[in-house]
Chain A
Amino acid sequence: MNNHFCAFSFVDRIHPGRSPDHISGSYLVPSSVCAFPVSLAAEAVGQLAAWAAMAAVNFERRPVAGIASRFELLNSPQPGQWLDLSVDIETIDSDAIAYSGTASASGVPLIRLQHCVGPMVAVADFDDPQALRERFALLCGPGAAPGRFGGIPPLIPDRSGGEPGSSATAVFQVPTDGAFFADHFPRRPVFPGSLLMHAKLELARALASEAPPAPGAAWVLSAVLDMKLRAFVPPGKILDMEARFTDRSSESSAILVETKSGERPVGSARVFLTPTAIP
């Protein structure tokens, strides 16, 4: 099966009325998947921004995941929901796109991304420019047939050490194969930054559960700040992850999550937590 524009494509339609500083679109989360992580809603917003960026430079360059200054996790997307995607573009040039954006469902905000930067790379190194042009025309016209996403495999970092309730180290084995690699990207498979973010959030969530804010309460992941991806991650790569509390009070806490490949930093993010009562 050709998984191009199927296994990891999260824009079904681009709405009319696109302008140089704004683009909106939509995506139907297939009801057949058992979950749709919030990091994939961020991926959908990023992909909408990527379409705007590629169209602006005649599909000669495309952005890749780089920086998200602030990523607010407001509500969880659900299978079967239509996601309304919106992107406000600060700048696009041959070096980078800078944008902010949101995903919502039936008027309920799911995520908010602020001050994101995607460095631009040569499209032809990663994908077929003509196929992308045709796909863009389809999305801007009748739209793509929904329901092509088949879910993602479990992406749980394997805990290797740390100090319970204070820090956690883990090994994360990037899958060697996966349908999403055929779509991200056809000419050069790269582990999506949003899935790496998902794995980091899993580690942060596990660490947070070891140090609840108070009896009868738990931490909820509310935002990710200063998320930065420094390198392409190929299939099969083994990454070291470390999560540690950097701030802790009864009202809020923060966990810094860093990822390395050997000594080389691959990415980092600061995860913010707010307390909630356990029902």
Chain B
Amino acid sequence: MTRTEMTQDEINAIFPKVAETMADALGCDVAKVKPSASLIDELGAESIDFLDIVFRLERTFKVKIPRGKIVEEARGTLSEAEFETGGVVTEAGLQRLKEFLSEVPAERFGSSLQVANIPRLFTPETFCKIVIRQQRSARAAATPAA
């Protein structure tokens, strides 16, 4: 999920609706939902809020979002062993994660990232990109093969 796969215009087009959906789920003012805000550290999201956000986005955008598989998707072609060792993301894993979560400022990744802390990196823009990917997948699935 790199920036080259989708344009900023695409992200900007759906961000207001994503922000509104997140504000409803988190019970906060929509103005607080900035594209690069950490959902956990800045907006106070907990695991139940992530579930809430995902289901609300599914209903709003009529897409299916693969719950609990965001980290798996982030791993891409790397095997689990290549991606993490003892619960800590490897150098190769970190590189892959930075590409996948290209919207997250580099300094937030740190040098020793626990797999359990990956959701701390997620931002509203992360979810914009997930929605766009799922919309594209749905469109591709609906298009008859030539």
- A contact set with B: CB distance below 8 Å: 66-67, 93-96, 98, 115, 117, 119, 226, 228-230, 268
Contacts and interface: CB of A to CB of B under 8 A. Distances in A.
Given A119-B47, A230-B46, A67 B67 contact: no
B48 A115 contact: no
A122 to B, nearest CB: 15
A229 B55 CA distance: 16
B51 A119 contact: yes
Q: Is the interface of A mostly helix, strand, loop or mixed?
A: strand
B36 to A, nearest CB: 24
Contacts of B24: 226
Interface in B26-85: 27, 46-49, 51-52, 55, 59, 67-68
A268 B48 CA distance: 12
Contacts of A93: 67-68
Contact of A268 (B27, B51, B55, B68): B27
Given A66-B48, A98-B55, A229-B48, 8 more contacts: A67-B48, A93-B68, A115-B55, A119-B47, A119-B48, A228-B48, A228-B49, A230-B48
Contacts of A229: 48
15 contacts: A67-B51, A67-B52, A67-B55, A93-B67, A93-B68, A94-B68, A95-B67, A96-B55, A96-B67, A117-B52, A117-B55, A226-B27, A228-B49, A228-B52, A229-B48
Interface bin, chain B:
10 to 19
Q: Is the interface of B mostly helix, strand, loop or mixed?
A: helix
Contacts of B55: 67, 96, 98, 115, 117
Contacts of A228: 48-49, 52
Contact of A95 (B27, B49, B51, B52): B51
Interface string B100-115: 0000000000000000
A66 B52 CA distance: 9
Nearest to A267: B48
A115 B24 CA distance: 14
A226 B27 CA distance: 9
Given A95-B68, A230-B46, A115 B27 contact: no
B51 A115 contact: no
By Cβ-Cβ distance, the 7 closest A-B pairs, closest first, are: A95-B68, A95-B67, A67-B52, A117-B51, A117-B55, A66-B48, A96-B51
B25 to A, nearest CB: 8
